């Protein structure tokens, strides 16, 4: 409690000793939390207030193998991939602290590949729904609000993952070239020998994964 009071009562700056980039990432994630919360609350409101039957996720998101539909198989694989990417991201941060450039860069690239695979599978999911006639303004399988809420929320999350993939590759390149060890000037700069940008990317990526857990629960299990 003494430390908490000292931080917030500081006449110079709050959270002394916290890197500026890391603090800004936390503020950004807090604002993003409010946005996703509003989206999901809106979805809950629409879902509970509509008088038209809501599509059954087990049927809408099923894929057929050998003529037999398997409910949510694609979504399960997507979730597994994204959760696995959190593990590789955590390892990248760990090896970043150890200043192991090669392993950190490899793990960042692997995480980006997982993210790109997730986005590709999400694009396939969208194309399947569009082929079935689902649109943001209509839905032949039930409540018309389904298409609007689904494309908005999953699209917004997919955009976050896509941006994360791009920045993961940028940070991986800088790590591999040793720019953080030397403290080279330019975008995403840091103090020499400091890998705080890897940790900031880790915060962002774990947040994206956590949001997907809520989307998975609301859209595919409810």
Here the CATH number for the domain that contains residue 212 is: 1.20.120.80
State how far the Cα of 49 lies from the Cα of 29, in Å rounded to an integer. 30
If one counts every other C-beta atom within 10 angstroms of the C-beta of residue 115, the result is 27
Region class of 92: left (phi > 0), else alpha (psi between -120 and 50), else beta = alpha
Give me the pLDDT at residue 222, please: 79
With a cut of 90, say whether residue 164 has pLDDT above it. Answer: yes
The pLDDT of residue 136 is 85
Q: What are the E-state strand segments in the chain?
A: 63-65, 68-70
Q: Give the number of domains in the chain.
A: 1
Q: Identify which has the larger pLDDT, 169 or 133.
A: 169
65, β-bridge pairs: 68
Over range 4-23, report the average pLDDT.
63
Judge residue 51's burial from the number of C-beta atoms within 10 Å of its C-beta, 0-12 exposed, 13-18 middle, 19 or more buried.
exposed
For residue 184, what pLDDT is reported?
65
pLDDT for res 67: 73
Q: What percent of the chain has pLDDT over 70?
A: 86
Reply yes or no on whether the pLDDT at 145 is more than 60. Answer: yes
Q: For residue 128, give its domain range.
A: 2-221
- Residue 183 pLDDT level (bands cut at 50, 70, 90): low
Q: Give the Cα separation of 212 and 206 in Å (integer).
A: 10
What mean pLDDT do residues 49-61 have? 85
What pLDDT score was predicted for residue 135? Answer: 87
**Average pLDDT, integer, range 90-99:** 92
Percent share of the chain, pLDDT over 90:
48
The average pLDDT across 74-88 equals 94
Hey, what are 46's tokens?
Answer: 């629409």
Confidence of residue 152 (pLDDT cuts 50, 70, 90): very high
Whether the pLDDT of residue 84 is over 90: the answer is yes
Mean pLDDT throughout 122-135?
90
Q: Which residues of 13-50 are buried (b: 16+ CB within 10 A; e: fewer)?
A: eeeeeebebeeebeeebeebeeebeebbeebeeebeee
Give the dihedral sign, CA 26/32/44/126: negative
The CA-CA-CA angle for residues 82, 88, 94, to 5°, reads 140
Average of per-residue pLDDT values in the chain: 86
pLDDT at 6 over 90: no
């Amino acid at each position: 409690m003494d430390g908490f009071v000292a931080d917030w009562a500081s006449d110079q700056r709050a959270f002394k000793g916290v890197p500026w980039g890391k603090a800004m990432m936390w503020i950004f994630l807090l604002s993003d939390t409010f946005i996703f919360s509003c989206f999901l609350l809106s979805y809950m409101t629409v879902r509970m207030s509509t008088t038209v039957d809501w599509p059954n996720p087990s049927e809408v998101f099923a894929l057929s193998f050998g003529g037999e539909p398997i409910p949510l198989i694609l979504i399960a694989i997507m979730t597994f991939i994204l959760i696995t990417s959190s593990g590789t991201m955590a390892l990248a941060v760990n090896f970043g602290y150890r200043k192991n450039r090669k392993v950190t860069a490899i793990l960042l690239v692997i995480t980006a590949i997982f993210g790109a695979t997730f986005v590709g599978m999400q694009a396939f999911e969208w194309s399947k729904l569009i082929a079935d006639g689902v649109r943001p303004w209509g839905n032949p399988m039930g409540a018309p609000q389904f298409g609007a809420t689904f494309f908005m929320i999953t699209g917004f999350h997919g955009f976050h993952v896509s941006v994360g993939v791009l920045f993961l590759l940028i940070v991986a390149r800088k790590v591999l070239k040793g720019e953080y060890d030397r403290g080279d000037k330019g975008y995403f700069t840091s103090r020499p020998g400091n890998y705080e940008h890897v940790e900031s990317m880790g915060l962002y990526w774990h947040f994206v994964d956590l949001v997907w857990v809520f989307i998975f629960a609301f859209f595919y299990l409810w």
